[in-house]
Structures are given as structure tokens and as C-alpha cells.
Amino acid sequence: MSYLIDIVLIALSAALINNFVLYYFVGICPFIGVSRKVEMAFGMGCAVTFVISIAAIMSWTITTFVLMPGAPLSAWVAGFFVSSESAAKIDLTILSYIVYIFAIASSVQFVEMYVRKFFPLLYKSFGVFLPLITTNCAILFACLKIMSNIVGVDDPADAWDLGRSLTLAVFGGVGFTIAISIMAGIREELELCDIPKPFKGAAITLITGGILAMAFMGFTGVDSGLKKAMTPAPSIEMKAPQNTAQ
Amino acid sequence: MADQPTSMERFIQGILPENPVYRQLLGLCPTLAVTNGMKAAITMACAVGFVLLCANVMISLIRNLLKPHLRIVIFTLTIATFVTIADRFLAAYMYEMSKTLGPYIPLIIVNCIIICRCEVCASKQPVITAASDALGQSIGYGLALSSVAAVREILGTGMFFEIRVLPTAWPDWVIMVLPPGAFLTFGLLLGWVNWMTSRYAAKKQVKGSL
């Protein structure tokens, strides 16, 4: 049950509360560049969601089995060269950035080839965006977030499993799609407005994004409220807020 | 290579005429994310400058060995190496700051500015030009970051470099240090820069015709 609550909270916070674009500012380039038409924006969002999920699976696997301090695979390899005590302490996290960016770049390349070969229709709808995605910060950001939740925690039991990592990635992608689609819808209307000349293009998009971000700030606190509602609290704690209300 | 800009031109162009943030709209993630205080913005600009300089020099040195279809991968891996160095350095000597900047230091890897400079300048021109180009672009980037950060910090907290400049009666515009403030400030500044540029260009034209 608590696992389910965890998943729901991670999903909500990735998609709405801490939206990738409007809260963490990752993926701003496509947010401004590819948000002219709703169909294009939606295609971009789908492509990002797709790649981000694959990248999350890869980064979780790499982090858990190779990079983490005392990771099984690297410890096994190191066991051939050094004593088993020092092999168990091996820590490759310093290589994480290089490994992640390499994993992302190569997976994007493979996904593009695969989709072009086997799903030509799908390739037509979002394949053109795939090469652009390698340099999309959102992907690397998701990988880093997953890493910090595996390596950065003190208690090994708190480290994220594949399910949590995948939830973060998929719903982060969904949040990106939501934000960029809303933005594209607004921009289609903006085409008809009389905007001062210096503000045309990126400037008005950013200001609109600011107002959107303000709207998304309304979700702040939803996660803690939901957590309180979903976890059965002990009766003493239930009484306390009533007393203060009186 | 007669039509390639010289070192001095590259250096000057990076600061204002081809400012990476305001004119090329590159590297917007950190521009929006770490500009809620001047200190964070300056540290970020220094980190980007270090990575840009090292990557540009490195790419320029190996530019004759690059294979066209592999060059983007090489750029990215070079940048990732220097970003790791910058990240470890910050974690060792400025621990608090590296906590504040958090994931945005590793995100320098996918910052379009650096890949763009490697592609446009460093992979075609010799080391001196590449280095001066990197310096110019980093100064331009630092200026852009600190302009956004100055507006946000002063309006949001009434302080500049954590020293109070506005009277204590100033009601802090908390929205300025929150995410929406970044979008609003940068959008308005960008519009203002566009307006100034068009006015400057118009003046120049009038002078030219006289």
C-alpha cells in the first residue's frame, strides 16, 4: 500500500507540482522552439516521453549494477584484480555524467533507427524530433534525479527501484507534454493578437510561460495533502488539528 | 579560411552583438533556473566559462582528427569530462554553492551554447581564435545571467549580493525568486533588448543615409 502511495505521489509531483518545464526549467529550448502548432508540440512531447522512459530504464540499470558504490557488476569485475574487500568498496559515480550522456545519445540513435525501420508512420509523426532530443536537458535531468535517489540516500532500503524510476520518467514526460501542448494552444491564439514588435516570438512566449508557471504553482502542497489523506494517521495526531481550529 | 572572423572579432561578437542568451537564445535552462541570486548566477557563469574555454581549446586542438559523423559525440564527451571536473571542484571547495546549483551543473553538458561554439568556431579555427571566442561568449553569458539575476534578487529580496540595497519597508516580491518570476523577468528583458536593438539599428541607418 505504501508503495502505491509512493508511486502516486511521484507521478503527481513529476507531472504537475514540480513540472519539468515550469518548475525545473529543463527542456526550455523545445518549449520555445517547437510550440508553434499543437500537433507538432504534441508530437515532440510524445517523443520526449518515449525517449525519457528508455533513458530512465537504462540509467537505473547502469546506476544500480555498475556505478553505485559497491555495485555488483563492477565489484565482480574488480574482484579479479584486487582483494574482495576493496572490490566491494568500488565507487564509479564520478563517471556518471559521461556514462549517462553516452547512454542517452546512443539510445536515441538506436530508437531512431528502429522506429524508422519498423514503424514508418510513427517515424513520420515524431521521428524528425528524435535527433534533437539528445541535447534536451529533460532527459539528462531525469537520469540525474534517478541517480540522486539511488546514490544520495543514506539508507539503502530507501533507494528507488525500477518502478519508481520509471514512474518519475514517464510522468515527467507527460508533464512536459501537458506544458508544451498548453503553450502551443495559447501561441496559436497569440498569432492573431496585436503584440508589440520587440516582444514577438520568444519574449511573449516566455511571459506566457511565466503566467502558466504561476497557474501551476497552484498545485503546490497537493502532494503533502494527499499524503496526509492517504496514510492512516494515528488517532492522537487526528485530534491535534481540531483543537487548534477551535 | 579567409572569410572566417579573426580572434578579436570573435571576442567582441560574443559579448553583445551575438550574445548567447539574448541574441541566440541558447542555454536558457540555467538562465532561468539559477538566477534567483547573484552569487549563484556568477558561479554558474564561471562554471560555464571554464567548460566552454577548455572544450573549445580541446576541440580546436583535435579539429583535424575529427570525423564528420562522429563529431557531435566527441563534442559531448569532451564537454562531459570538463563538466565532471567543474562539478567535483565545486563540491570540494564550494560545497554550499554546489548544493544550491544542484543538478544544473551537470546539465551544462547539454547546454546548447557549448556544442554550438564547438561546431561553429572551435572545429574550424585555430586555438587562439577558439579561446578568445570562448572568452567572449562566456563574458556575454555572464552579463546576461547577472542582468536577470540582478533584477530578480533586488525585486525579490531587496538585496544585491546578499547586501540590502532597498529599504526594509520594501515588500519583497516573492514571486520574483519563484519560477514564474524567472520567465517574466527574462521575457521582459528580452523584449527590452529587442526594442533597444531595433532603435539602435534605426539610428545607425539614419546616420548612414545622411
Q: Residue B141 and residue B21: Cα distance in Å, rounded?
A: 6
Q: Which of A115-129, A218-232, B8-22, B160-174 has the lowest mean pLDDT?
A: A115-129
Q: Which residue of B has its CA nearest to A146?
A: B103
**Chain segment A156-172, per-residue pLDDT in tens:** 777 888 888 999 999 99
B164 touches B74 (CB < 8 A): no
Q: Which residue of A has its CA nearest to B189?
A: A203
Binning pLDDT at 50, 70 and 90, where does residue B209 land? low
- pLDDT value, residue B103: 85
Query: With 90 as the cut, is the pLDDT of residue A120 above it?
Result: no
* Most confident residue range from A118-132, A224-238, B28-42, B157-171: B28-42
C-alpha cell at A240: 491535534
B164 in helix, strand or coil?
strand
Query: With 60 as the cut, is the pLDDT of residue A211 above it?
Result: yes
Which residues, at least 6 apart from A145, have a Cβ–Cβ distance to it below 8 Å?
A168, B103
Q: What angle do CA A60, A65, A71 make, to 5 degrees?
A: 125
Question: Can you give the pTM of this predicted structure?
Answer: 0.84
**Chain segment B89-135, per-residue pLDDT in tens:** 999 998 888 888 888 888 888 888 888 888 888 888 888 888 998 99
Backbone phi, then psi, for A201, in 5-degree steps? 85, -125
Q: What angle do CA B150, B153, B157 make, to 5 degrees?
A: 150
Q: Which residue of A has its CA nearest to B33?
A: A25
How many angstroms away from the CA of A31 is the closest CA of chain B? 11
- pLDDT value, residue A233: 59
Q: What angle do CA B101, B44, B20 make, to 5 degrees?
A: 130
A142 touches A168 (CB < 8 A): yes
Enumerate the residues of chain A whose CB falls inside 8 A of the CB of residue B80. 97-98, 101-102
- pLDDT value, residue B89: 92
A199 and B76: CB-CB below 8 Å?
no
Q: Which of A98, A196, A214 faces B80 most closely, judged by CB atoms?
A: A98
What DSSP designation does A2 have? Answer: H
Element (H, E) at B160: strand B159-160
pLDDT (average), residues B159-165: 81
Enumerate the residues of chain B whose CB falls inside 8 A of the CB of residue A206. 183-184, 186-187, 190
Query: With 60 as the cut, is the pLDDT of residue A246 above it?
Result: no
A29 and B112: CB-CB below 8 Å?
yes
Chain B residues 135-174 with CB within 8 Å of chain A:
none
Enumerate the residues of chain A whose CB falls inside 8 A of the CB of residue B145. none
**Chain segment A137-196, per-residue pLDDT in tens:** 888 899 988 888 888 777 777 788 888 899 999 999 999 999 999 999 999 998 888 888
More confident residue, B115 or A129: B115
Q: What angle do CA B84, B102, B173 make, to 5 degrees?
A: 145
More confident residue, B48 or A230: B48
B52-to-A73, A133, A136, B134 alpha-carbon distances in Å: 34, 21, 18, 6
Q: Which of B106, B183, B198 faces A97 most closely, judged by CB atoms?
A: B106
A28 and B178: CB-CB below 8 Å?
no
Q: How many helices (H) and strands (E) does chain B have?
A: 9, 2
Domain ranges of chain B: 7-209
* A193-201 LR contacts (CB < 8 Å, sep 24+): A196/B191, A196/B195, A197/B194, A197/B195, A197/B198, A198/B191, A198/B192, A198/B194, A198/B195, A198/B198, A199/B187, A199/B191, A199/B194
- pLDDT value, residue B139: 92
Enumerate the residues of chain B whose CB falls inside 8 A of the CB of residue A25. 28-29, 32-33, 179, 182
Q: Which of A12-16, A53-57, B1-5 has the lowest mean pLDDT?
A: B1-5
Chain A residues 192-231 with CB within 8 Å of chain B:
196-199, 202-207, 209-211, 213-214, 217
User: Largest Cα–Cα distance of chain A, in whole Å?
Assistant: 72
